[in-house]
Amino acid sequence: MGNKKKKTHVPFRLNMLFFVVFLLFSVLILRLGMVQIVYGDDFKREIERTEDITVNNPVPRGKMFDRNGNIIVDNTPLNAITYTKYQRTSQEEMLEVAERLAKLIDKDTSKVRLRDKQDFWIIKNPDKAMELITEEQWESYEQGILTDKQIYDLQLEGSKDFVGTLTELEIETLAIYREFSSGYALAPQIVKNSDVTAEEFAVVSENLEDLPGVDTTTDWERYYTFGETLKSILGKVTSSEEGLPKEQLDEFLARDYNRNDRVGKSNIELQYEDVLHGQKAKVKNITDKAGNILSTEVISEGMRGKDLVLTIDMDLQSQVEQIIEEELWNAKKEAKSALIDRAFVILMDPNTGELLTMAGKGIQKNKDTGKPEMTDFAQGNITTSYAVGSVVKGATILTGYQTGAISPGTVHVDQPMVIKNTNPMSSWKNFGALNDLRALQVSSNVYMWKTVIAMADGHYVPNNPLPLNLTAFDTMRHSFAQFGLGARTGIDLPNEATGYVGTVKQSGLLLHLAIGQYDTYTPMQLAQYVSTIANGGYRIQPRLVKEIREPLLESNQMGPILQEVQPTILNRLDAKDEWIDRVQEGFRMVMQVGDGTAVSYFRNVDYSPAGKTGTAQAFYEGFEQEKYGRVPVINLTLVGFAPHDHPEVAMVVVVPWAYQGNSGPSINNHIGRKVMDAYFNLKKERIATSEETNTSEQTDENAEVQLDIEE
């Protein structure tokens, strides 16, 4: 029997598996074919047509409150007309919309430049612009001799003869077109907001379909509740037309700002820009390749800037400014010098550095009428400096203690001093033998000079030369800087000046330095100086911001505290407590004892003041210097604090160029007395009001309890 050949046998289940796999692959291939062949173009267009663009929409700035919760700076709503440029919007399309809009609104054209008009004329008249180029110039262009820019420059030059033919409507169109062109794609650009009338707002709203990109919305501007009071210190914000400052453009753009965002450009608005600016709303626009918006998605809601609570007491600030104005006008009329044109007053808590008032006023001629008018010049407290006279003698005495030149109780004879080849030098009166306390009380120059002579290893002999160790300049200036004199105070404002430091070092000038007649100091430096003496020797940084608070959207009340600014001690005087106590006592005697230089102005007050007066010869450096020249004048100053044993307020008064000649009005003392009175009177009024309120509330509570008992 032969071998039977075996047949290959594939199980039925395996065949079914192969068949199913084949079927699935067939379906997959068929599906891929459908996608690629039938719907491929549609999906390609879908991918190409979408693009995500995130736009930041600005929000209102944070508010400012005073220390008592009064709103100082707010945002007031404005009707606004905006324009949003699409990515593919052409120049011709923007011009067409600008022309339509110009027929509906009035647009300020004052910022339109000649170059803008030239460009506009060329755009509107392309054929005529071509005719401005000669055949010879065109040939040079075709030969590569002239570039595109050179051809355009020739057209610009030729267009000067035609820009005068532009109509008023065309110039308004140009002004609007400038606004259209200045913004980013898909970022709303303010076209007009400061003076949009109700009629303009309504008519533009009705015609939005014919004005692609244009919209009507609500914008804001800063509103100052107290008018011009403290306005220069509060600072300014750029307008929507200005946008970001050019000198800081790259910095702001790197911080996610838009070109037309408004930012703080001076003082508090600038210093606290990061706090006040707020968190902008983020909106994602889905667009096609033509730039048309397909959909919009809000990524994050905007939040207006955080609020600042200032250390300033606006009720007190208003009163102080009124006092300055009245005294300045009176002095202007009665003074021997017509040069007096400014005065400064600072009130500060010497224990915390909180500025309660920061006032400055100046008199300038109105540019239109030529008549003098009062202007706010509070910024001069940190940007201008003056020879301040005898108010620095407290620092001179303490420097004398530190160096061992004098000790508490040291006696010198106050009589005229005659140094060889110089005129006699003396105090305003010969006081004979006196110690350090009386030297402060009566403001003895001679005592200060003899202190400095000892400090500089000198030996005074009448009618002989007076060689001194001039390193005493550095010793004194280093000591003065511990009080803040000649050093930055650290105030939370930009552009603080440090004053003038004399560069010439001579024996006579060293004596002048000791009585405040050489180096110059700002009013703010004097405030830090007198506060350092008042609080027992701690130089504290002055500040204008007390708290940063979370904004409440629908309320004029202050929100929760985010940050409370704490006092900053910059340094402690290198002085014994008893030395500082002695200078404090000398300052008390100035205002309260015998023939103290300020006793006649502070007699019979109940707040126990201490302080120091100052008179310095200086040279006029005012706004009418071209008229009066550089003439010798007298600066008047006053520093003080009260109560003398537990100081709660420190004061500085500076009146430059108060008068000419040997005597004049004591405007510094008049202002100082009224300002101190205003502070303590306001304090009494508030205490009385608080007690009345508490009494009334207690009466109401008692009545409710009685009613409950009866029931």
Write out pLDDT tens, residues 61-100: 999 999 999 999 999 888 888 888 776 778 888 888 988 9
DSSP state of 37: I
Lowest-confidence region among 275-284, 349-358, 528-537:
275-284
- pLDDT number for residue 58: 61
Q: How far apart are CA 180 and CA 178, in angstroms?
A: 5
pTM for the predicted model, two decimal places: 0.81
Task: Inform me whether the pLDDT recorded for 486 exceeds 90.
Answer: yes
Q: How far apart are the first and last CA of the chain?
A: 130
420 to 328, 446, 506, 517, 592: CA distances (angstroms): 42, 16, 14, 21, 39
How much is the mean pLDDT over the chain? 86
Average pLDDT over residues 507-532: 97
* Per-domain boundaries in the chain: 48-86+187-194+216-310, 90-184, 316-363+371-547+561-686
Q: Where are the beta strands (DSSP E) in 3-132?
A: 51-57, 64-65, 71-83
Average pLDDT over residues 623-633: 74
User: Residue for token digits 């006023």?
Assistant: 361
Average pLDDT over residues 542-563: 90
User: Residue for token digits 């994050």?
Assistant: 300
Task: Inform me whether the pLDDT recorded for 186 exceeds 60.
Answer: yes
Pick the closest to residue 412 from 435, 390, 429 (CA basis): 435
Active site residue 300: no
Token digits for 502? 């004399």
Query: Pairing mode, if any, of strands 610-619 and 189-192?
Result: unpaired
One fold for both 48-86+187-194+216-310 and 316-363+371-547+561-686?
A: no
Task: Inform me whether the pLDDT recorded for 149 exceeds 80.
Answer: yes
Task: Inform me whether the pLDDT recorded for 452 exceeds 80.
Answer: yes
Task: Inform me whether the pLDDT recorded for 288 exceeds 60.
Answer: no
Query: Which distant-in-sequence residues (6+ apart) come within 8 Å of 388 by Cβ?
Result: 516, 520, 521, 526, 614, 616, 635, 637, 654
Q: Is 50 left (phi over 0), alpha (psi -120 to 50) or beta?
A: beta
Q: Which residue has the higher pLDDT, 98 or 334?
A: 98
Please tell us whether the domain made up of 48-86+187-194+216-310 is placed in CATH 2.40.10.10: no
Q: Where are the beta strands (DSSP E) in 416-515?
A: 432-435
316-363+371-547+561-686: CATH topology: Beta-lactamase (3.40.710)
Q: How far apart are CA 411 and CA 360, in angstroms?
A: 40
Task: Point out the catalytic residue in the list 390, 443, 444, 479.
Answer: 390
90-184: CATH topology: Arc Repressor Mutant, subunit A (1.10.10)
